[in-house]
Amino acid sequence: MNRKWTVFGLAAGVLVTLSVASLSTADDKKHGELEEIMEKVQKHSGVLKKNTRTPVAYKKAQKDIEASALELAKLAKKIKPMKDALKKAKDEANPGAKWEEFSEHLFKASEAMAKVVSKADSTQAEAKKALAPVNRSCADCHAVFKVEE
């Protein structure tokens, strides 16, 4: 009879120990403000890419595309003063100026896309053409500032 309670106590102790250990590792994975914003950028960029693939998807999600493009523009303005990524710059003489250039380009490209998409008679081809500068600004920035860990 005592063995049954001993096994139960040991199992409960192991369970508590594992849950405490998992909580402590969850705290280690906290992101900075820039990482959180970049996750939002990735989310909205995905909405743009997914919904401009076909004319049917474009017409169905035109308002979502416009909202995501405007949100990308807001996020681009929000990241411009952040200087966290400057220390990760690869082979760049003036990373501060480059960071501002990339964030300004993302802002302008996102606003331009939102203007195109806001027109009721706009087509999927026009939206896809307006998406190209947004994608290019992300790719150019990642080439300089994103470091693979």
pLDDT in tens, 56-71: 999 999 999 999 999 9
pLDDT in tens, 109-136: 999 999 999 999 999 999 999 999 999 9
Q: Are residues 69 and 8 both part of a single domain?
A: no
Q: Are residues 103 and 122 both part of a single domain?
A: yes
Number of folded domains in the chain?
Answer: 2
Backbone angles phi, psi at 2, to 5 degrees: -70, -30
106: containing domain: 32-145
pTM of the predicted model, to two decimals? Answer: 0.74
CA dist., res. 123 & res. 126, Å (int): 5
Q: Are residues 10 and 53 both part of a single domain?
A: no
CA dist., res. 39 & res. 46, Å (int): 11
The pair of structure tokens assigned to 71 is: 């949100």
Q: Are residues 123 and 110 both part of a single domain?
A: yes
Q: Are residues 67 and 19 both part of a single domain?
A: no
Q: Are residues 23 and 43 both part of a single domain?
A: no
